[in-house]
Structure 1
Amino acid sequence: MPKVLMTFPEGKFKVLTMSYDDGKAADRKLVNTFNKNGIKGTFHINSGLLGTGDRIPGEEIAQLYRNHEVSTHTVTHPTIARSPKEQLIEEFVEDRKNLEKIVGYTVRGSSYPNGSYSSFIKNLLPYLGIEYSRTVNSTGNFAMPDDFLEWNPTCHHNRDLMKIAEDFVNLHKKQYLYMMYVWGHSYEFDNDQNWHVIEDFCEYIGNREDIWYATNIEIVDYVKAFQHLKFSADSHFVYNPSAMSVWLSVDEKIVEVKGGEQVELTKKTTALL
């Protein structure tokens, strides 16, 4: 039986994702910083607050975040663990509807406003079309989540970001998959007058050949595509019923399993270098 392991696209074993809340004006500068360094982010937005105060207006959303992901953050940003279920449904579903009209694609993710959630809310979200939701509970590690509806980030950007980034870049054991997940609010850089923190980080960690730069939903979709692969009982071949490619390490050779195709894993395959 061959030794088969999941990898990230093109055989990579590290992924970086960024997550920023509230859709305020400082997102413009943050998005530009991400774009310059080939980094992707997910931006969690309250559609009921668009254009109020210093928040990005609705007509700017699609263009500003076009290389990234727009995700729900509820319509009005309540402390949802204290909200009745009727309000919960409206806060998430209406936020999805409003954002989808703006960006033109299905909005399937979330971050918990004020970090507030409960087991009831977690169980409710899939019925509202939400496939993942980020907490504010930083772990300090690079583990992949085992519960996307309680997705704990690695760190807030104000907590030893460069030290953690250096540890992440230096990871080399390919028997593991590593994820660095950074979260925060872009306006904090204005408040703390420390834009150099994120700019130095992005310049250091961006545009690297061995890191997959992904939005939150891209990670979710990829992991689910791997989980949906149909392996033979002896793992000698595999069928991919999804539309996207999945990459595998097969006896330490990288094999691409394209969407809709069946691949022999024990015959000679062309490894990606």
Structure 2
Amino acid sequence: MPKKILLCYPEGKHKALTMSYDDGVEADVRLVDIFNRNGIKGTFHINSGMFGTLGARQRLTEEEAVALYKGHEVSAHTLTHPTIARSPREQLIHEIFEDRKNLERLFGYTVRGMSYPNGSYTSQIKDLLPHLGIEYSRVVETTGGFGLPDDWLEWKGTCHHNRNLMQHAEAFAGLDKTQYLYLMYVWGHSYEFDNDNNWELMEQFCEFIGGRNDIWYATNIEIVDYVKSYSRLRFSAAQDFVYNPNAHSLWLSVDGDIVEVKGGTQVQL
């Protein structure tokens, strides 16, 4: 009888939380501090052509950003934040590729994700992104649910932080059916907490949802990489062993038992 094999998050967990914030503004300093105090990871989508500028809000300088975002992910948001659905293809390519190059020079790793500036995108833009090295991109629409995306280039979060955040958090914390993989994805802009005078909302959320043993706290790209790595596992036809060609471990539930499959190893199931 074939075994019942299911993908798990690291260490056999079935719930993950990721946070996604745009624009690289000074209010991120307070937000990152809240994340760090509660063991939560975020992805910060940055316009590298706007470092240090003062418009409606103050942007971080390059030096401030490099120091601040350690332990989190920096992702693209285009060079200067245009409404890209209205931009020529040549401008779109320039905006994304130059943003990637600047961020990679500063942070020292390959930038492979983004969020759409002004929530602007088209199916043609989505088709172009893989040719520009982009593997995922977040939109502004949300689902209200806790599932993984069907389309990484049209990644819809669970909620904006101003949309019933604590109700979503309480529902997420209570999920206990291990036959599913759950993901809570929260997005927004940190300056909104200043505008709305509601920093206590994020403090309350992170204190409530942080530090739990049953949740994997991950950046956007960590989730993308982990889930995509599962498709590279090589199972025997009889499903009695599996080879992991990836560099890192993956975890499986095998008839309810948690099995770690280390990178580069074959494991009997």
Q: Does the pair score TM above 0.5?
A: yes
1:238 and 2:242 correspond: yes
User: Any idea what the Cα deviations from partners look like across 1:118-155, whole Å, max 9, x if unmatched?
Assistant: 10010100000000000000110001111100000000
Q: Partners in 2 of 1:219 and 1:234 — Cα distance?
A: 29
- The alpha-carbon deviation at position 62 of structure 1 amounts to 1.7
Contact 1:246 1:258 in 2 (8 A): yes
Aligned to 1:251: 255
Contact 1:61 1:103 in 2 (8 A): no
Which residue of 128, 133, 145 maps to 1:129? 133
User: Any idea what the Cα deviations from partners look like across 1:84-106, whole Å, max 9, x if unmatched?
Assistant: 11011100000000001110111
User: Any idea what the Cα deviations from partners look like across 1:140-187, whole Å, max 9, x if unmatched?
Assistant: 000111110000000000000001000000000000010000000000
Aligned to 1:211: 215
1:34 and 2:35 correspond: yes
User: Any idea what the Cα deviations from partners look like across 1:16-69, whole Å, max 9, x if unmatched?
Assistant: 000000000000000000000000000000000010011000112222000100
Alignment of 1:140-179 (within 5 A): 140-179=144-183
1:189 and 2:208 correspond: no
- SS for the counterpart of 1:248 is strand
Query: What code does the residue aligned with 1:16 have?
Result: L
Aligned to 1:67: 71
Q: Partners in 1 of 2:88 and 2:201 — Cα distance?
A: 39
Q: Partners in 2 of 1:146 and 1:243 — Cα distance?
A: 25
- SS for the counterpart of 1:42 is strand
Question: Aligned Cα RMSD in Å?
Answer: 0.5
Moved over 3 A (4+): none
Q: Partners in 2 of 1:61 and 1:262 — Cα distance?
A: 41
Q: Partners in 1 of 2:230 and 2:15 — Cα distance?
A: 16
Contact 1:48 1:95 in 2 (8 A): yes
Q: Partners in 2 of 1:250 and 1:185 — Cα distance?
A: 40
TM-score if structure 2 supplies the norm length? 0.98
Q: Partners in 1 of 2:203 and 2:192 — Cα distance?
A: 13
Aligned to 2:8: 7
Aligned to 2:25: 24
**How many pairs were matched up?**
265
Q: Partners in 2 of 1:18 and 1:235 — Cα distance?
A: 36
Aligned to 1:110: 114
Q: Partners in 2 of 1:252 and 1:85 — Cα distance?
A: 50
1:84 and 2:82 correspond: no
Q: Partners in 2 of 1:61 and 1:237 — Cα distance?
A: 45
Q: Partners in 1 of 2:91 and 2:237 — Cα distance?
A: 47
Q: Partners in 2 of 1:248 and 1:49 — Cα distance?
A: 43
Contact 1:61 1:102 in 2 (8 A): no
Q: Partners in 2 of 1:262 and 1:62 — Cα distance?
A: 39
Unaligned stretches of 5+ residues in structure 2: none
Q: Percent identity?
A: 69
Q: Partners in 1 of 2:9 and 2:89 — Cα distance?
A: 37
- The alpha-carbon deviation at position 263 of structure 1 amounts to 0.4
Unaligned stretches of 5+ residues in structure 1: 266-273
Aligned to 2:264: 260
Which residue of 222, 230, 255 maps to 1:226? 230
Query: What code does the residue aligned with 2:19 have?
Result: M
